[in-house]
Amino acid sequence: MIPRIAFTPGEPAGIGPELAVRLANSRAADRRRAAQIVALSDPDLLADTADRMNLPLNLIPFDPHAPAADTPDGSLFVQPFRLAETAVPGRLNVANAPFVIDTLQSAARGCLQRRFDALVTGPVHKGIINEAGVPFSGHTELFAEAAGAERVVMMLAADELRVALATTHLPLKDVSAAITGERLQQVILILHQSLRDQFRIGAPRIGVCGLNPHAGEGGHLGREEIDVIEPTLDRLRAQGLHLLGPLPADTLFTPPQLARCDAVLAMYHDQGLPVLKFKGFGHAVNITLGLPFIRTSVDHGTALNIAGRNEADCGSLRAALAQAVQLAELRAL
Ligand SMILES: NC(=O)c1ccc[n+]([C@@H]2O[C@H](COP(=O)([O-])OP(=O)(O)OC[C@H]3O[C@@H](n4cnc5c(N)ncnc54)[C@H](O)[C@@H]3O)[C@@H](O)[C@H]2O)c1
Ligand SMILES: N[C@H](C(=O)O)[C@H](O)COP(=O)(O)O
């Protein structure tokens, strides 16, 4: 089986177009598995970027009716979209935000309709999309909505560390109210099922962080652990899940405790992701669990400060592609 992978390079003024060109030119070095990589992008943007980088890029029109074919070195298949205005590296342009959203929506539809076996996303700029009048908090939430999924889970993985989030792109002041028993139960069940079925971990062990410092210190530093987290974990333990915690996050993220877990569930974005990125920035992968299709992504943002300088590292994109291919192959077994 040759998996068909939709690839959205993301914000056109960021490093995404350079990463696309690098990805096309790193296929041989990766000793990779076969995959048909289909970039949903503006062919002129990709060709101009390749010229600027002085790298070859052969763009092959994607034919969804033809049998899946491996991607030759120096090439990408392309499903064309048109930018509203020429992109300038490092300079956001609100006029091009609809282009970004169109590529994401089309990729999601293609996955839902099984034209693609998986989706790999490059970085988007959340701010410029909102400035264009499109409410947008992240790919994760957009794909959940496109798929009609009530709940999905963001998990980032680097080496043997996996960190999932109970809440994603939420202002910190709203986090406590969002940590409900219902949400926690849904998140933990999705995480458990994905670790078992997608990552083939027989009896997954999940370490759960508390919300408050010292996991609430017995109620003296907050009550969410006593009122919400512990009762939810007890209910799920009664169903046979292996759950550790709630432990203080600064205890759970230490080597002896991590050795007892296959994944850590953090209560909010900046409780979990700084640890993960300290360990693995540059080769970590963001995976959306609970969608009806496979979606992986890079661990970094649009890096506007280096866009156009030919300095962007494509390690995380390569890792995201490898992970998507592996998950697609496993699903096909
Ligand atoms: N996957 C995504 O779509 C994604 C992920 C994170 C952040 N973002 C968005 O990106 C925008 C900018 O975010 P930020 O500035 O906080 O983070 P960033 O990851 O864009 O940049 C942080 C630092 O890391 C560097 N960097 C990032 N990726 C790099 C790469 N591949 N190679 C070399 N250096 C790299 C940047 O130059 C910068 O110094 C925000 O709008 C944010 O929401 C998107
Ligand atoms: N939270 C992610 C990170 O910090 O890497 C990032 O914003 C991307 O999230 P989406 O895949 O939902 O856009």
Q: For 127-156, how does the pLDDT look when each residue is reduced to its tens digit (9 = 90+)?
A: 999 999 999 999 999 999 999 999 999 999
pLDDT > 90? residue 29 = no
Going from the N-terminus, what domains does the chain have, and what CATH number goes with each? 1-149+291-333 (3.40.718.10), 151-282 (3.40.718.10)
Q: How far is the CA of 86 from the centre of ligand 1 (A)?
A: 22
Chain-centroid distance, C-alpha 169: 13
**pLDDT tier at 333 (50, 70, 90 boundaries)?**
confident
Rounded-to-integer distance, Cα 262 and Cα 64, Å? 38
Mean of pLDDT over the chain: 96
pLDDT > 70? residue 31 = no
CB 85 within 8 A of CB 93: yes
Pocket residue to mutate for ligand 2, from 100, 155, 286, 302, most atoms within 8 A of Cβ:
286
Identify each DSSP E strand in the chain by its residue range.
Answer: 4-8, 36-41, 58-61, 75-80, 118-121, 153-158, 161-165, 205-209, 242-247, 263-266, 285-289, 294-297
The helix or strand, by DSSP H or E, that contains position 160, with its residue range, turns out to be: none
Average pLDDT over residues 91-117: 98
Rounded-to-integer distance, Cα 32 and Cα 325, Å? 10
| pLDDT over 90, % of the chain | 97
pLDDT > 80? residue 32 = no
Average pLDDT over residues 267-283: 97
Whether cis (ω within 30° of 0) applies to the bond prior to 246 is: yes
**Phi-psi label, residue 216: left if phi above 0, alpha if psi -120 to 50, beta otherwise:** left
Rounded-to-integer distance, Cα 92 and Cα 129, Å? 10
Q: Is 284 in the pocket of ligand 2 (CB under 6 A)?
A: no
Atom of ligand 2 nearest to the CA of 269: 1
**pLDDT tier at 33 (50, 70, 90 boundaries)?**
confident
**pLDDT for the residue 1:** 86
Average pLDDT over residues 231-256: 98
Q: Where are the alpha helices (H) located in 113-261, listed in sequence order?
A: 126-131, 139-147, 175-178, 181-197, 224, 230-238, 249-252, 255-258
Rounded-to-integer distance, Cα 139 and Cα 190, Å? 18
For the entire predicted model, the pTM comes to 0.97
Q: Is 302 in the pocket of ligand 2 (CB under 6 A)?
A: no
Pocket residue to mutate for ligand 2, from 156, 168, 169, most atoms within 8 A of Cβ:
169
**pLDDT tier at 100 (50, 70, 90 boundaries)?**
very high
How would you list the strands of the sheet with 118-121, edge to edge? Answer: 58-61, 75-80, 36-41, 4-8, 118-121, 294-297, 285-289, 153-158, 161-165, 263-266, 205-209, 242-247
Average pLDDT over residues 39-44: 98
Beta-ladder partners of 222: 220
Digit-coded pLDDT (tens) for 194-230: 999 999 999 999 999 999 999 999 999 999 999 999 9
The binding site for a divalent metal cation consists of: 169, 214, 269
